[in-house]
Structures are given as structure tokens and as C-alpha cells.
Structure 1
């Protein structure tokens, strides 16, 4: 794929979101540890749930607004509000103030407004790239870019977050502001006027129409099963910066990874977590496009099922080992499951969504992440009640149920396809 031949919007987004994501990942993986230590596990879990619950609503609102007011406008508004949240994080961790509660508020603002950004951003790709295989690769390239950030960000953040948090947040604020300006000045609107939804006269009319639109979307049984399966499976990948972070810090002992002569490579809980997240990002960065091209040879049904099984198996490995080596193996299996569907899931949504409702379909599909992330923090206090092993077993079971729902979804798709084919023959 020749990125130089991409639509200009895609090029600008690739550059802008690279810097956005790089600094975002310098602090995101460590916030669960920070909140658990500063506020307690139960309080941290409840607060993270609340912020994500608000994000669920923001995600759905963002999809409607992206279809009504345009992709660019929602991306610009979201980017500037996230910049404000980052400035609040900086103030809350400055030399004159150290406030975990303000830190949480800043993080919540960034998380919620990020969910306004995502539906518009994904819909812009669907607007711009028509060919299915090409669209898969575009989504894969963006995902690769994100995971390059996942490699670099936690390594740098693992040092700065615990030793120079104010400096990290201050620099991040500047970067967020520059990215917001870039999006404002360079990106062009991609929503065609012919499919732009009519603006309503009042907020109540907007809300009523929005509820009706999403009700219609969820009467699509195929789409409903897709979202339901995704919410269950999201309980695996949402745990990377939640349960897995706390588990590694509390349970995995310091150990020697490699020794040759006088050289010895050792790891403790903090470095192991950073390296594990970096491993995930490195594998994705190196192999996403390659594996996506290979995966395009298989049908979506197989890929969705195989991905779910990889997620489930990796959760079992994480929960039943104290070895850093097994942690790395589990992350490799987890990452394979991630890569198998990285482009196909977004392309699947674009395929089944009407052109005039793409923003809302992507927003509703975002429930897999936003609703999944809302309930994900429950695993932190749950682990304190039933232990880490049983918590990881529960997550494994949820992933396998998700795999089953994907099977049901594709059977339903086949029924619909056969029904349409029979109707055409009758006509």
C-alpha cells in the first residue's frame, strides 16, 4: 500500500494522531496503578466505571453529531476539549498542587471526549475509502501507527510518569494543542451534503430523533449480535491497563530474564508491565499490515472466531503464571488475536451500515469498547474478593461466549442473504 497516494485527510490524520497517541500512551497504562494506590482499589474501580459510563453516552451522541454536523467539526471540538483535560492533568500534578481527584477529572474529560472523536474519525475512513480490501488495509495502517505509540509510549512513560509526572503532562498538553490546530486547519469535511442529516430545531428533538435512530440500528439482529459479542470479548483487551497492570505489579516477582557473563537482564513489576505493553505494540507495528493481507484470504467468520479463542487462551495464561517468560508468550497470543480482526471489524461495520448512518453505526459499534470499558474496572475489586485466577477464568469464559455469539451472528447473516436471494428470484 502506497500511503503517498492516500486521500489528504488520511495523511493529515495519520501524522496528527501519531503524536496524539504517542503522548497519550506515555501515561494511560499507569493510571490504574496510580488511582489504585492513591484512592484505593474499590474507589478507583468505581470512579473508572463512572467515567466510562458517561463515555458510553458520549460515544452514541458523537455518532449522531458526526452524521448531523460533520466529521471534521466533531473531531476538532473533541481534540480541543481533550487538550483542556490534559492541561487539568498538568495543573493537578504541578509543583504547587498534587491532587489525585483532579487528576481523575482530567483523565475522565480526555476519555469521554475521546469517545466523541472516534465515531467521526472512523466514519471519515469509510467515507473516503470505498474498496473493502483497501479499507481493511487503511484501518490496519492506522492501527499499526497506534501500536508504534504503544511500543514507545509506555517505555518513556514508565520512567517519566513515576519520576517527572508534571513534565510529562506539560509536554503532552503542548502536543495535544498542536495536534488540535493541525486537525482544525488541514482536514477537510468528508461527509457528503447529500447524506447529511437535517439539523433539528431543539435539543429535545435532537435527542428524540437520536433515540429513534439507535433503536432502529439495534433492531438489526446481525449488528446487535456483533456489538454484544464485542462487549464480552472487550473484557480481555480492556484489562491491559487495568487488571493486568495491577496483577503484574502485585503478583509477579522480580526475576532474571537473561544472563551472559557479567551481563544480566533483570525485570521487576514496573519494567515487566512496560515491556509487556511494548511487546504488544511492537508485534502489532511490525506485523499488522502483513497479517491483515494474509487474513484477507480467509472469511470473516473464521477470523472473528479464531481471534476470540486467542483472547480467551491468553487470559488463562496470564492468570496462571508467575513467570515473566509465560507473560510474554501470553501477550504474543493475545496480540495475534488482536491483529486478526483489526481491519476486518471496522470494514465489517462499514459494509453493513447505510451510508447516511455510518457515524451512528460506528458510534453504536463503539459500545464494544465504551460499555466494555465501563464494566471492566469491576475486575480490580473483584480480584480482591475471589482472587486473580478466578477473575481471569471469568474473563476467559466471557471471551468464549463472545466467540459463540459471532457464530450465531454469521448464521443470521446467511439466513438474511438467502432470504434476499429468494425474494429476488420470486420478483
Structure 2
């Protein structure tokens, strides 16, 4: 299905909405089904996201699977997992283009079906070339739903409600993932095959929910040609925002790459990292729903800058932590910053993007996370080798710089949103 392009008729104003989009967001029948100020289709997306995250059991344990079940060395497993990162770099721009070209529903459902098939292929493949190929494909498809999901929310939800909607999705992801970490570790004791099946089945459930219960919302652009990815790259404000987010992801993802290494390097047992990170999941599940409505009434750029600064400050405090309790306290600090950022970046991207380019804009934003996922461990481990204080103080300083950059972009973002 290609992007439909209609020439404007005389006396007829241009529109960027499809009939399905109007049906999903503006008809009286649909309005009657709204729950809590958000449309029913959003709650379907919310439920599917929660189910999908409840089944996210393969990614957290993939390193253990490769070394224990497939007998790979640590070096070989690291190289295999790098192919996953390469695939994720390709994933977001391609999925963003597909969301604009083929539609949000088709892209999200297709990505979930492809992920389910790849999960099962990876779970039953024993050859090294097969595992490498499956990991590369998995990197491409596993998060292909994100640009489509982000664009769906922008299509379905008013600008005033978007921070709350994106925040709710953030909460669903963290709640589901927290439960999946516990149940996945328990199920892995009886074999890894069941993890691949659970992950595959929950992906299929998510895709089926979207296909059956969410109408297509892809806007139609009534111009001579559809938008291109170069249109996104020529938007200097969006590119600047993405670069700032790349700096933030580099800071934030140290918590998942170098933090466990820093803790074990001080002689703490591996379980200490799990105890400290449990604070992160607990605070998000408890605090984020309480603050979601309040954050929705704040200026997104200022609130996002505050959150980035708190994350940077919290990670900088890691330089003085020496015990499990001390690390847990620093986790609590930067988690509060993470809660402040929840949903705001997606809302800003939606306000910057023309309706017909929402998928591509979300794809470029997602690319900053994929790139950060590759850069954080590569540079972070080298800084940690120089000294833990060097790593954490530089990370904290970069967080403050990113926050200042976000504040500087604020006026331009507000002007764009007002238009």
C-alpha cells in the first residue's frame, strides 16, 4: 500500500487527515468511548504495549543464553550482540519510513509478526552463522514498532494530552519489563526455549490487538509528492533536538552498561546491582503515575531539561558511592530525573513533525537511542578504565550540558508548537 496523494480541489482546503484518522479521533461515536480523556484506540495500544513488555524475556538474558546454552565465549557473544546493535541502527529510520508510507497499523503489526518469527528462529538455531543472522534481523525488527507507536499517539491524541499519553506508555513499558525480568529469570532455570516462545506469543498478541482494534491513522498529504527523509534532516530544530537526546542517552545508558562494572569493580557482589536497580523499577511504577498529570501541564522543554539535569546529577553522585545502599540512593536520584523526562520527548517530537512525517521524525528520534546504545558501553568502559570518578563526573557534566541545550531550544520548540 503506497502513500495516497490527492490534488487539492478548487475551494477545498488541504487536509492532512485520512477518513480513518477522523474516525479515530473526531467522530461522536468514538468520543463516547473515551476513557479518562484518552481515546479507546490509545488504551488498546497501551494494553498491547504492556502485554508485549510482560513477554520481553529474551533480550535481558541473551548474553547468558549465548554463553551457556550455545557455548560461546564472552568475546564471541559480545560480537554477536554487536550485530544486534547494528540492526537497531537500521531499524528506526526504516520503520519510521514504513509508518509514513505503509501506515502505522501495518508497520506495527508487521514488526511484531516479524519479531515473533525471528525469536523462534533464534531459539532453535544452533549454527553460529544462523545465530548471527537472526540477531541482526532481530535488531532490525524488535523495536520497529516504536516509530509507528509514537506516530499513532500523535495521530490519536490532542497536543494537550500527549505528554500524559506518552507517559502512560512509558509506565506500561517499565511495569511490564520489571515483571518480565523476574519471571524470565525464574523460567530460564528450566531452559531458555520457553523464553523465546513467551516473547513470540506476546508479540503476536500485540500485533493482533493493533490490527483488529486500532484504525489506520496515517494522514494523507495533499501535495504533489510525499515527504522524504531528507525533509526531516533539513529540519535544523529537529536535528538539534535529536543530538541533544543522543547526549542524554549516552549519559542515561551508563546505568545499564558501566554501572554494574563499576559496582563489581569495588568488590560488591553481582547481586548488588540488581538490588540497586530494583529501586529504579519500584520508583517508576509508584511515582510516575502520580506525577503524570502534573507533568502534562508543564512546558515540555523546561521539564525535559530539568529531568536531564537530575539524571546527570544522580549519575555524577555515583562517584562517591561505595556500598550497595549508597548506589541505591544514587539510583533513586537519577530515577526521579527519568520520571521527569517520561513522555515529554515524544510530545516534543510530535509537535515538531508535520503530520505526514510523524513516522520519519519518530524514527530519527529512535535512531538517537540506538546510537546511544552503541556508544555508551564503548566510550563508557574506556572512561571507567581511566577511573570511576572520571567517568561519573564527565557523565554528570555532559548531562548538565544537554539540559542547557534543551533549555536553549525551548523557545524555538514553543514557537513551532504554537504554529
The answer to whether the superposition gives a TM-score over 0.5 is: yes
User: Would you say 1:88 and 2:121 are equivalent positions?
Assistant: yes
Query: Which residue does 1:216 correspond to in 2?
Result: 231
Query: Which residue does 2:175 correspond to in 1?
Result: 148
Judge conservation of contact 1:217–1:361 (CA < 8 Å) in 2: yes
Judge conservation of contact 2:105–2:216 (CA < 8 Å) in 1: yes
Residue by residue over 1:74-111, the C-alpha shift from the partner in whole angstroms, topping out at 9 and shown as x without a partner, is 1111101110221133225xxxx5x7876565444333
Query: Which residue does 1:273 correspond to in 2?
Result: 273
Q: CA deviation at 1:46?
A: 5.2
What is the rounded CA distance, in whole Å, between the counterparts of 1:108 and 1:408 in structure 2?
A: 38
Residue by residue over 1:358-412, the C-alpha shift from the partner in whole angstroms, topping out at 9 and shown as x without a partner, is 1111111212212211322314652674344433334333322312321332255
Query: Which residue does 2:151 correspond to in 1?
Result: 123
Judge conservation of contact 2:87–2:137 (CA < 8 Å) in 1: no
User: Would you say 1:338 and 2:353 are equivalent positions?
Assistant: no
Query: Which residue does 1:408 correspond to in 2?
Result: 408
What is the rounded CA distance, in whole Å, between the counterparts of 1:36 and 1:245 in structure 2?
A: 19
Q: How does 1:164-179 map to 2 (within 5 A)?
A: 164-179=191-206
Judge conservation of contact 2:120–2:197 (CA < 8 Å) in 1: yes
Q: How does 1:342-357 map to 2 (within 5 A)?
A: 342-357=342-357
What is the rounded CA distance, in whole Å, between the counterparts of 1:401 and 1:316 in structure 2?
A: 13
Judge conservation of contact 1:312–1:399 (CA < 8 Å) in 2: yes
Long gaps (5+) in structure 1: 200-208, 255-268, 422-427
| Bigger shift: residues 375-384 or 69-78 | 375-384
Distance 1:104 1:238, change over 3 A: farther
Judge conservation of contact 2:160–2:296 (CA < 8 Å) in 1: yes
Judge conservation of contact 1:32–1:241 (CA < 8 Å) in 2: no
User: Would you say 1:374 and 2:374 are equivalent positions?
Assistant: yes
Distance 1:167 1:48, change over 3 A: closer
Distance 1:34 1:167, change over 3 A: closer
Which residue of 11, 21, 36 corresponds with 2:53?
Answer: 21
Residue by residue over 1:260-303, the C-alpha shift from the partner in whole angstroms, topping out at 9 and shown as x without a partner, is xxxxxxxxx23x33344443222222222321222244333431
Judge conservation of contact 1:304–1:406 (CA < 8 Å) in 2: yes
Which residue of 171, 179, 185 corresponds with 1:158?
Answer: 185
Q: TM-score, normalised by structure 1?
A: 0.78
Instruction: Give the structure with the larger helix fraction.
Output: 1
Query: Which residue does 2:26 correspond to in 1?
Result: none
Judge conservation of contact 2:84–2:139 (CA < 8 Å) in 1: yes
Q: Please, what is the CA RMSD of the aligned residues?
A: 3.2
User: Would you say 1:300 and 2:294 are equivalent positions?
Assistant: no
Residue by residue over 1:184-218, the C-alpha shift from the partner in whole angstroms, topping out at 9 and shown as x without a partner, is 3333211134569968xxxxxxxxx7xxx333323
What is the rounded CA distance, in whole Å, between the counterparts of 1:13 and 1:396 in structure 2?
A: 35
What is the rounded CA distance, in whole Å, between the counterparts of 2:232 and 2:170 in structure 1?
A: 26
Judge conservation of contact 1:300–1:344 (CA < 8 Å) in 2: yes
Q: CA deviation at 1:338?
A: 1.2
Judge conservation of contact 1:75–1:183 (CA < 8 Å) in 2: yes
Number of residue equivalences = 383
Q: How does 1:199-210 map to 2 (within 5 A)?
A: none
Which residue of 106, 109, 120 corresponds with 2:137?
Answer: 109
